[in-house]
Amino acid sequence: MANKSFKYVIVGGGVSAGYAAREFAKQGVQPGELAIISKEGVAPYERPALSKAYLFPEGAARLPGFHTCVGSGGERLLPEWYTEKGINLILNTEIVKADLASKTLTSAAGETFTYKFLIIATGSTTLKLTDFGVEGASAKNILYLRDIDDADKLVEAIKAKKNGTAVVVGGGYIGLELSAVLKINNFDVKMVYPEPWCMPRLFTAGIAAFYEGYYEKKGVSIIKGTVASGFTSNDNGEVKEVKLKDGRVLEADIVVVGVGGRPLINLFKGQVEEEKGGIKTDASFKTSVPDVYAVGDVATFPMKLYGDIRRVEHVDHSRKSAEQAVKALFASQQGKEIEAYDYLPYFYSRSFDLSWQFYGDNVGETVIFGDHDPSSAKPKFGSYWIKEGKVVGAFLEGGAPEENQAIAKVAKLQPLASSLDALAKEGLEFASKI
Ligand code: FAD
């Protein structure tokens, strides 16, 4: 098998890879110097579209519409762009072995790739119910969503089971977005999760009560405090029923599972330092191995704002970390350093007519403000997180762009709050004054 050699290789062709490619071009990468090796069959795209507009019954998003970097208002990098820049997009190619000592990657087909500099951008994979040995979990139409192939399977199932019954397992943002989009596709939707409320890692009970109320109003049934413990299937091997641990049984034509992910770092185990489930990097996304960088979901990096180290699985960080790594890589070749990554956590989600943004850290005490009645014609509300008297996190549903910018500023500057009561009364005004 042939060996191909590049100055720079990015392993993984997702969001980070797309934003890294754009930064490589800005930094003046020469034709033939950079290769992106991806398991997927398409050029980098904005992954969040898959659980949103990609599944709409009408006017669905399709490639090439959402290639990176349109998600952040940037240029859409079509496959031709990569060709023009002399960037090698090596698609449908899974790397199965990485030897960082000899700077060699090996694909499933046995091809080898050598590099001078490597950027690891392999992202995450979804946890599967089969991994936990759940009875009957390998039945047809029990689906997951991580990449475009998964999304296409879901689109096919939605068509095949038109107006059917769907059970969504998991109460995170993927579960919430998928429940909404299945409802919009006219499915009878039930959501199941073990926690006392949805999105418990971020949402307070007050925030969650709004979304749960809104979903119920839209006709999504929510079943909390139990888990899917098994599945039965029909003669075609298609899922037919979901058995819950509390003894209930739900009919299902489709089951969609969103129970979390795991960063894909196995290829590099034992070769690079790890921390908090990811690959440990510095503030330029350099790993413990010379000439090797890690970005996006797989990187555990110093969070300057909070003085600790974290791994972040959000699209905004995948874009920014990729840009930071490429800038640092070019600077280091000129013996220079760039400013440390100074990230303000930012996460968003959209479903039905709703849209929220969160900035900062969700620690400490909380207040809720605004109209959080799920029956309101135009609900708009938010929350602040207060730690040691300072406002460190801010959430806003239904905010206008300048209001979202205002809450971002609050999370960044961490102003003092006079009292929780005053903050709750002032609400968005507090942010607008900062
Ligand atoms: P990815 O974008 O996952 O890219 C990794 C790439 O590496 C993939 O192409 C993969 O196939 C490839 N790869 C992996 N292993 C190999 C290998 N061995 N060989 C070759 N290629 C390999 N975040 C938000 O902030 N807001 C949202 O609304 C939101 N919605 C989302 C919706 C969905 C359905 C999903 C799955 C994620 C969503 N996210 C959202 C999270 C966000 O998309 C990720 O944080 C982001 O994509 C991470 O970028 P990445 O480049 O690290 O990984």
pLDDT bucket at 74, cuts 50 / 70 / 90? very high
Has residue 126 got a pLDDT over 90? yes
Q: Are 124 and 144 in contact (CB under 8 A)?
A: no
Closest by CA position to 50, among listed 227, 186, 173, 162: 173
- 339, part of any domain: no
Distance between CA atoms of residues 122 and 17, nearest Å? 9
Distance between CA atoms of residues 48 and 146, nearest Å? 9
Dump the DSSP string for 46-114: -GGGGGTGGG-SSS---TTTTBTTGGGT-----HHHHHHHT-EEE-S--EEEEETTTTEEEETTS-EEE
In this structure, the answer to whether residues 205 and 190 fall within a common structural domain is: yes
Looking at residue 434, its pLDDT comes to 87
Pocket-testing residue among 36, 47, 77, 404, ligand 1, by greatest number of atoms within 8 A of Cβ? 47
Looking at residue 149, its pLDDT comes to 98
Ligand 1 centroid–CA 240 distance in Å is 30
Ligand 1 centroid–CA 288 distance in Å is 23
Ligand 1 centroid–CA 217 distance in Å is 32
**How many domains does the chain fold into?**
3
In this structure, the answer to whether residues 224 and 157 fall within a common structural domain is: yes
Looking up tokens 């299945």, which residue turns up? Answer: 182
- 52, part of any domain: yes
Average pLDDT over residues 1-24: 95
In this structure, the answer to whether residues 197 and 101 fall within a common structural domain is: no
Detail the DSSP E strand segments found in 92-211. 95-99, 104-107, 112-120, 124-126, 142-143, 165-169, 188-193
CATH number of the domain to which 135 belongs: 3.50.50.60
> What values do phi and psi take at 183, rounded to 5?
-65, -45
Residue nearest (by alpha carbon) to ligand 1 atom 12: 12
Average pLDDT over residues 298-304: 98
Looking at residue 321, its pLDDT comes to 98
Has residue 285 got a pLDDT over 80? yes
Nearest atom of ligand 1 to the alpha carbon of 350: 28
Average pLDDT over residues 57-70: 98
| Local structure of 358: helix, strand or coil | strand
pLDDT bucket at 2, cuts 50 / 70 / 90? confident
Domain end point (choices 206, 232, 260): 260
CB burial class (10 A; 0-12, 13-18, 19+) of residue 331?
middle
- For 183-232, the pLDDT digits (tens) are 999 999 999 999 999 999 999 999 999 999 999 999 999 999 999 999 99
| Local structure of 335: helix, strand or coil | coil
Looking at residue 1, its pLDDT comes to 64
Nearest atom of ligand 1 to the alpha carbon of 267: 18
Three-state DSSP string of 300-317:
EEEECCCCEEEECCCHHH
**Mean pLDDT score across all residues of the chain:** 97
Has residue 174 got a pLDDT over 70? yes
Nearest atom of ligand 1 to the alpha carbon of 14: 4
Q: What was the ipTM of the complex prediction?
A: 0.99
Other C-beta atoms lying within 10 Å of the C-beta of residue 179: 29
Average pLDDT over residues 335-344: 96
376: which residues sit within 8 A by CB, 6+ positions away?
none
- 270, part of any domain: yes
| Local structure of 191: helix, strand or coil | strand
In this structure, the answer to whether residues 117 and 134 fall within a common structural domain is: no
In this structure, the answer to whether residues 252 and 274 fall within a common structural domain is: no
Looking up tokens 């004054």, which residue turns up? Answer: 433
Radius of gyration of the chain (CA): 23
- 268, part of any domain: yes
In this structure, the answer to whether residues 80 and 150 fall within a common structural domain is: no
pLDDT bucket at 13, cuts 50 / 70 / 90? very high
Looking at residue 418, its pLDDT comes to 87
- 344, part of any domain: no
* DSSP 8-class letter at 45: B
Looking at residue 374, its pLDDT comes to 97
* DSSP 8-class letter at 249: E
Ligand 1 centroid–CA 390 distance in Å is 33
Residue range(s) defining the domain that contains residue 215: 129-260
Residue nearest (by alpha carbon) to ligand 1 atom 3: 123
- 111, part of any domain: yes
In this structure, the answer to whether residues 255 and 276 fall within a common structural domain is: no
* DSSP 8-class letter at 284: T
- 403, part of any domain: yes
Supply 368's token pair.
């809720």
pLDDT bucket at 54, cuts 50 / 70 / 90? very high
In this structure, the answer to whether residues 137 and 244 fall within a common structural domain is: yes
Nearest atom of ligand 1 to the alpha carbon of 124: 3
Pocket of ligand 1, beta carbon within 6 A: 11-17, 37-40, 47-48, 50-51, 94-95, 121-124, 145-147, 174, 264, 267, 296-297, 313-316, 318, 347-349
Residue nearest (by alpha carbon) to ligand 1 atom 18: 95
CATH number of the domain to which 366 belongs: 3.30.390.30
Ligand 1 centroid–CA 251 distance in Å is 31
Residue 167 β-bridge partners: 190, 255
